[in-house]
Structure 1
Amino acid sequence: MVRWIIAVIVVLIIGLCVYVSFSNKLPDGLGVTDGLLKACPASPNCISTQAEPSDTIHYIEPIVFTGESKDAQLLIESYMLAKEHGRLVTSSFGYVHFEVKSQLIGYIDDVEFYFPEADSVVHVRSASRVGYSDMGVNRNRVRQIQNLLVN
């Protein structure tokens, strides 16, 4: 009986890993279009500073910074590479896209930063590619970056 239970658990874990592997494809529509990042899906595994403030599931406040936007962008890039173990997908002046892979299961989050030219603000979209809930990981990530730029 114990061997049967272990076999079922192993099969479920392998199935989950295969599902995550095939589902972790780069989504279409990332980047900035007419000053906007891609909208969040209905699932609660995405947050965005450009969601409607009344959308309490997806909305998070934009990050306000002082100084030059290039310095803020470099600080965020350094943080994401060091602390989040992010993989830099795209970096140009005013826009950065990272993939952050969870260590346990291998879920990938797409984390985008947009620095409008005329503002001292960073817009962020952080979204999981797979699953329904992210257990607050994306919101916590953005809060840490907010703290990084405020301090």
Structure 2
Amino acid sequence: MIRSLIIASLATLYWQPPMPISAEKLLPPCPSTPNCVSSEATRASQRVPTVPFTDAPAAALARAKVALLAEPRTTLTAERDGYLHAECKSFLFRFVDDVDIVVDPIAQVYHFRSASRVGASDLGVNRKRLARIAARLASRQALPSTTSK
């Protein structure tokens, strides 16, 4: 009985229901809790800026992948045409945050979303993470060259 309760409790910590994405939006919406930031958020307090790119979309995605994986304790869990999803674990308690990056070839910008799976507050961790990734992309710091030699 107790063992089943513990297993069920742990499962709810790590299970996240699928989030539908509408035709107008590239990323799942942020919940009402302050532990999510997105370039497509409707609340100003949750919004982060996009980052422009001039590369071909495939090269922009490759640069985004390098910038994302430069974050500590980050595992890429999905990669498809113009989209990356990763899980970032906190150092001490190993809480999981989901990070999404979309390469928008029409607007030529990166769209971002970072959200905690559990809890209500993240102490600004998701915003800081996206700021670091955006800074890497904007400065092209430590990212592969997109020009051939």
TM range, normalised to the smaller chain? 0.7 to 0.9
The Cα offsets for residues 19-68 of structure 1, whole Å up to 9 and x where unpaired, read as 666412133116x542521110010000010113xx22211111212222
Aligned residue number for residue 110 of structure 1:
98
The Cα offsets for residues 80-110 of structure 1, whole Å up to 9 and x where unpaired, read as 2233331111101111110111121111011
1:44 to 31, 34, 49: 34
Q: CA RMSD in A?
A: 2.0
Aligned: 1:82 with 2:70: yes
2:47 to 47, 50, 59: 59
Aligned: 1:95 with 2:105: no
**Native 8 Å contact 1:35 1:116 kept in 2:** no
- Structure 2 spans left out of the alignment, 5+ residues: 1-7, 140-149
Taking the aligned partners of 1:134 and 1:20, their CA distance within structure 2 comes to 19
**Native 8 Å contact 1:99 1:111 kept in 2:** yes
User: Structure 1's 19 and 56: CA in aligned 2 closer, same or farther, altered over 3 A?
Assistant: farther
Q: Size of the alignment, in residue pairs?
A: 131
Q: Which has the larger radius of gyration?
A: 1
Runs of 4+ off more than 4 Å: 18-21
**Native 8 Å contact 1:86 1:98 kept in 2:** yes
TM-score (norm 2): 0.78
Q: Percent identity?
A: 33
- Structure 1 spans left out of the alignment, 5+ residues: 1-17
**Native 8 Å contact 2:39 2:113 kept in 1:** yes
TM-score (norm 1): 0.77
